[in-house]
Amino acid sequence: MGHLIPLAEFARRLTHLHHDISITFTTLSSSSNNAEQSILSSLPPSITSLTLPPPSLSDLPSDLKIESLISLSLSRSLPSLRHIISSLPDVSALVVDLFGTDAFDVAEEFNIPKYIFFPSTAMTLSLFKHLPDLDSSVSCEYRDSPDPIRLPGCVPLRGSDLLDPVQDRTNDAYKWVLHHSKRYGLADGIFLNSFEDLEPGPIRALTEPGSKPPVYPVGPLVRTGGSEDSTGCLEWLDRQPSGSVLFVCFGSGGTLSVDQLTELAAGLEMSGQRFLWAVKSPSKVSNSSFFSAASSDDPVGSLPEGFVERTKGRGMMVPSWAPQSQVLAHTSTGGFVSHCGWNSTLESVVYGVPLIVWPLYAEQKMNAVNLIEQAKIAIRPTTGEDGVVRREEVSRIVRALMEGEEGMGVRSRVKELQERAKKTLSEGGSSCKALGEVALKLRQNSNHNNNNSSVANGVSGDV
């Protein structure tokens, strides 16, 4: 979801601002996921949506990491992609997701320019660009490296804060990330879902004149248009005082251990604050915080006994999935406990809601560092030695955000960034201009294709 939502927004905004561009949106997803289906079915008529037939993955081990799974799914789907591209009349560009660089081979066969849509931070993109160098210059695991990792324009990072798949260099997931990062230089351009006010240092470094491939910061692109709220939480928010509710949500894949879930619940209760919590069943696998084997059909049932009754009136729980962007946009929402997925972060910025960082997987530890040290729109709880944030600490940090001085500081800073985000997306703003450049490139590619094939119908080609 974290890749699909911003890519769909990118497509939507491109066709909305530049009517002469049409888009064919191709996914690998299974059609059974309702949240995915609701994104795809909300695309405007100028965007055709196609799902590739699922490739056979039955030979793969069950403990394969998500990065390997995505990469293998795509590389095994290239014949279907080839078939789709050959059936389209005039393709002016192929845009792939961050782990989609194997599709470049197909683009080259058809002589089509190739782009990457990068749904994460400029800092993570910088890591991807420099990973081949790091791979040859650092001999140990990055987390054991005594020196911080220095990326151009970024705050220094501890090796242990780097994204998950690079934490074990012997795992296939690392090899896949390295493989893709080596192919980033082949792209004709990279569309980045960020903006300079949010990540000034890394974006300036990535967009220095002459850097290759060119990077277009087109963000913040967040989900627009609401989905139906079957949970009743928006109505509940309508009845709460302005800025009084803390929203707790760990993205589409984040789960907590049983112990952590209990401590979080107890801490929210102790804090005395209002809260809305998208609860997922706890992870049954120790140390797993992503796509766990969580199995209970009733996540709320896994909360401590009596919790729901004791917090009635000031706490609301929704099972698994909340209409997050509408919740963050609601005037009653005043804070966000987030796993720091990049889309969640951007939504928080766009709606001006300060955060408590609770990174779980992927590149979220890097995002948390960024939010605290560079953007300064978030605060962080202290984790115990056993890796669990205890209830007293949860209560302390929640009160600090919702009514303390620390909270006031990050709130005023996120409101400033919210204004800047609005500007950057409006006419004349830097993201709007970057998107204009993208559209121009696509038209040039299309004219080039048309001239080559002696077709000149005046309509830009398909992406």
Query: Which residues are known catalytic residues?
Result: 3, 97
Q: Is 307 in the site for ligand UDP (CB under 6 A)?
A: no
Applying CB under 6 A, which part among 212-220, 318-326, 380-388, 426-434 lies near ligand UDP?
Answer: 318-326
Would you mind telling me the total number of residues written for the chain in this entry? 463
Planar angle of CA 116, 119, 121, nearest 5 degrees = 110
Number of H helices, E strands in the chain: 17, 12
159, 165, 253, 334: which one binds ligand UDP (CB under 6 A) = 253
Does the protein bind ligand UDP through residue 187 (CB under 6 A)? no
User: Minimal CB distance to ligand UDP: which residue?
Assistant: 2
Output 266 or 355, the one with its CB closest to ligand UDP: 355
Q: Which range in 73-81, 339-347, 413-421, 422-430 contacts ligand UDP by CB under 6 A?
A: 339-347
Smallest distance from ligand UDP to CB 223, Å: 5
| Residue 256 in the binding site for ligand UDP (CB under 6 A) | no
Residue of 324, 333, 367, 460 that binds ligand UDP (CB under 6 A) = 324
Q: Which is nearer to ligand UDP, 346 or 401 (CB)?
A: 346
| DSSP letter for each residue of 365-397 | HHHHHIIIIII--EE-PPPPTTS---HHHHHHH
Q: Judged by CB under 6 A, does residue 322 bind ligand UDP?
A: yes
Angle among Cα 451, 452, 458 to the nearest 5 degrees reads 30
* 319: contact with ligand UDP by CB under 6 A: no
The residue (of 77 and 124) whose beta carbon lies closer to ligand UDP is: 124
Which of 248-256, 291-299, 406-414, 433-441 is the region at the interface with ligand UDP (rule: CB under 6 A)? 248-256
Asked if residue 251 binds ligand UDP (CB under 6 A), the reply is yes
Q: Does 186 sit near ligand UDP (CB under 6 A)?
A: no
Contact between 2 and ligand UDP (CB under 6 A)?
yes
Q: Which of 197, 347, 363, 462 binds ligand UDP (CB under 6 A)?
A: 347
Q: Cα separation of 370 and 391, whole Å? A: 25
Closest approach of ligand UDP to the CB of residue 150, in Å: 26
CB 276 within 8 A of CB 248: yes
Question: Residue with structure tokens 């209409």?
Answer: 323
Both tokens assigned to 44: 């405007």
Please provide the DSSP assignment of 17-34 as one string.
Answer: H-TT-BEEEEE---TT-H
Tell me whether residue 104 or residue 351 sits nearer to ligand UDP (CB atom): 351
5 near ligand UDP, rule: CB under 6 A: yes
Supply the minimum distance, in Å, between the C-beta of residue 344 and ligand UDP: 3
CB of 279 to ligand UDP, least distance (A): 10
Q: List the beta bridge partners of residue 356.
A: 337, 379
- Dihedral angle over CA of 13, 17, 22, 25, nearest 10: 0
Residue number, 38 or 444, with CB nearest to ligand UDP: 38
Question: Which of 278, 410, 421, 439 is in the footprint of ligand UDP by CB under 6 A?
Answer: 278
Q: Which residues contact 4 (CB under 8 A, 6 or more apart)?
A: 27, 29, 36, 39
Nearer to ligand UDP, 217 or 251 (CB): 251
With CA atoms as reference, report the closest residue to 431 among 6, 36, 1. 6
Q: Quick check: 344 binds ligand UDP (CB under 6 A)?
A: yes
- Hey, what are 437's tokens? 């450049």
Q: Does 223 bind ligand UDP (CB under 6 A)?
A: yes
Q: Distance (Å, rounded) from C-alpha 444 to C-alpha 192?
A: 21
Burial class (CB in 10 A: 0-12, 13-18, 19+), 182: middle
Q: Are 290 and 253 in contact (CB under 8 A)?
A: yes
Q: In terms of CB distance, is 73 or 80 closer to ligand UDP? A: 73
Place of tokens 């990973």: 131
Residues at the site binding ligand UDP, with contacts judged by CB under 6 A: 1-2, 5, 223, 249, 251-253, 278, 321-325, 341-344, 347
